[in-house]
Amino acid sequence: MRGLVLKNHYEPTASLAYVVRKEVPGVEGFGGVDLNLSMGGMNASAVEHMAATTGGFGRFVWMSTFDSEAQVRYSRQDRPFVRISQNGELLPETKRVIAVIAKENLVLATGHPTAEEALLLVREGRDRGVKHMVVTHAMMQPIHMSDTQMLEAAKMGAYIEFVYNGLIGSYKEFTFKDYARAIRYVGVDHCILSSDMGQPPNPLHTDGLKMFFDGLKQQGITQPEIDRMAKENPARLLGLE
């Protein structure tokens, strides 16, 4: 592995990536910020601060995950949430966040919105000149993008993320066959494979990726195609090429 992206749903990880690079020479660690309630929701200042962290290793901006309106409603929870849109339009504060992402050349990751909101985010990102975008595990809840929606996002310049976490444990919704079919539909040039590991009951990140790749191979996905989705496309997303 050349590197990895460190994600925390409630705290920025740019400084952690800086420490990882100091302690583990040869591994390119990256971080980001997840715009949940702990970060003030759609908070452009939080994004600017993360981008200014020493080292410049904060690259990702997740547009709210566990605290997103879509996630809270899907989980049938009665608690505050982060709203990114209303009446089919992105909120002004969401657009300000995307403007900062464009200015700082960061990665716009859609987080846990509805499928329709994810498309709004990608469209705004494209129009604002964001160069790096990814639809966070597009098939999983609460997003549940259809094949046509994933293809639409890909045509607007976003990578579609497929994660091992959607195939095992409490988040299991799909089979390797489901993933392989969707990857074929969207095209490997527009897909990214991630582990989404890090939860105590799940395998280690590297072990999860190995099992992920082996399962896809059994569905006819070739090693060069896996390399494209697990190495080349992520490198482009992070600006490593």
Domains of the chain, start order: 1-113 (no CATH), 137-241 (3.20.20.140)
130: buried, middle or exposed (CB in 10 Å: 19+, 13-18, 0-12)?
buried
Looking at residue 38, what is its pLDDT?
Answer: 98
Q: Give the pLDDT confidence score for residue 9 in this predicted structure.
A: 97
In the block, residue with structure tokens 């929870």: 77
pLDDT for position 58: 98
Position 151 scores a pLDDT of 98
Chain centroid offset of residue 45 CA: 20
Q: What is the pTM of this model?
A: 0.97
Task: For the chain, 241 residues long, give each residue's pLDDT as a single digit of tens.
Answer: 899 999 999 999 999 999 999 999 999 999 999 999 999 999 999 999 999 999 999 999 999 999 999 999 999 999 999 999 999 999 999 999 999 999 999 999 999 999 999 999 999 999 999 999 999 999 999 999 999 999 999 999 999 999 999 999 988 999 999 999 999 999 999 999 999 999 899 999 999 999 999 999 999 999 999 999 999 999 999 998 7
Q: What are phi and psi of 167, to 5 degrees?
A: -110, -5
- What pLDDT, on the 0 to 100 scale, is given for residue 69? 98
